[in-house]
C-alpha cells in the first residue's frame, strides 16, 4: 500500500522525497506497515450534502503524513481554492460540518471553527495551513503534499474547501469592501486569520 501511495504522489517532488524515508518501527523493532491504524480519511460534502471530495492522510513516520486530496465538484469555479485543516474544537459553534443550504453561504460550516492553530500565529504559519487546490474546468483536482502533523493531532479536525483562493498572508486585491483598500482593517484581519479565501463550500471531518 505504501508503494501505491508514493506512486500516487509522484506528481509532487516533496512527497516523493518524503516517501523515501523509512516508516517508523514499533517498540519491538519490526517495520510498521501502513494499515488502518496509519490512515485517516475525510469525505467532504457541500452545503447540499453531496460528496465532492475525498482526503486521505497516510502516516509516513511519526512526525508527518502524506495527504492526498481528490476533488470532483462539477460547477465549482476553475482555479485555485483555499484548503485548510480547521480546529473543530468549540462546541459553542456546533460540531463537525453543519450547513443549511437555505441560509447565506457565509454561515456554512462555521461549526468547524477557525484554522487549526495551537501555537497562535498568523495565517501562513498555522498548523492547519496547506497548499491551495487547483481545480480544473471540469471540477476535478488532485493535490498531494506532506504535512508535519501526526495523525493523532488531526483526528477529529475538519478539512474545509473555500470558494476563493488563499492569499497566504498577503493583502488581497479586489473590489469588495473587505478586500484591498489601502490597508483596510477588514482586509488585514481576514488575511491574518484565514488568507481571505472566502466562503466555505465543502467540509469533512477527519476520521
Which three-class secondary structure string do you get for 183-205?
CCHHHHHHHHHHCCCCCEEEEEE
Q: How many domains does the chain have?
A: 1
pLDDT category at 21 given cuts 50, 70, 90 is: very low
pLDDT value, residue 33: 43
Cβ neighbours of residue 41 closer than 8 Å, sequence gap 6 or more: 54, 55, 56, 57, 206, 207
Within a domain: residue 189? Answer: yes
Q: What is the pLDDT of residues 95-143, one digit of tens each?
A: 999 999 999 999 999 999 999 999 999 999 999 999 999 999 999 999 9
CATH classification of the domain holding 181: 2.60.40.200
Q: What is the pLDDT of residues 55-94, one digit of tens each?
A: 999 998 878 899 999 999 999 999 999 999 999 999 999 9
User: What pTM was estimated for this model as a whole?
Assistant: 0.78
Q: Does pLDDT of 4 surpass 70? A: no
Within a domain: residue 17? Answer: no
Within a domain: residue 5? Answer: no
Amino acid at each position: 500500500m505504501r508503494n501505491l501511495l508514493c506512486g500516487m504522489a509522484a506528481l509532487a517532488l516533496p512527497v516523493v522525497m518524503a516517501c523515501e524515508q523509512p516508516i517508523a518501527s514499533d517498540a519491538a523493532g519490526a517495520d510498521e506497515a501502513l494499515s488502518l491504524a496509519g490512515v485517516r480519511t475525510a469525505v467532504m460534502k457541500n452545503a447540499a450534502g453531496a460528496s465532492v471530495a475525498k482526503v486521505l492522510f497516510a502516516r509516513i513516520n511519526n512526525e508527518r503524513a502524506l495527504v492526498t486530496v481528490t476533488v470532483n465538484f462539477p460547477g465549482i469555479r476553475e482555479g485555485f481554492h483555499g484548503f485548510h485543516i480547521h480546529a473543530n474544537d468549540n462546541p459553542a459553534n456546533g460540531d463537525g460540518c453543519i450547513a443549511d443550504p437555505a441560509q447565506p453561504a457565509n454561515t456554512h460550516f462555521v461549526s468547524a471553527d477557525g484554522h487549526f492553530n495551537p501555537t497562535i500565529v498568523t495565517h501562513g504559519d498555522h498548523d492547519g495551513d496547506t497548499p491551495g487546490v487547483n481545480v480544473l474546468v471540469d471540477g476535478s483536482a488532485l493535490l498531494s503534499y506532506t504535512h508535519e502533523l501526526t495523525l493523532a493531532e488531526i483526528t477529529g479536525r475538519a478539512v474545509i474547501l473555500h470558494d476563493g483562493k488563499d492569499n497566504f498572508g498577503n493583502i488581497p486585491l479586489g473590489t469588495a469592501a473587505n478586500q484591498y483598500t489601502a490597508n483596510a482593517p477588514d482586509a488585514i484581519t481576514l488575511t491574518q486569520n484565514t488568507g481571505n479565501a472566502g466562503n466555505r463550500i465543502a467540509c469533512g471531518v477527519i476520521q
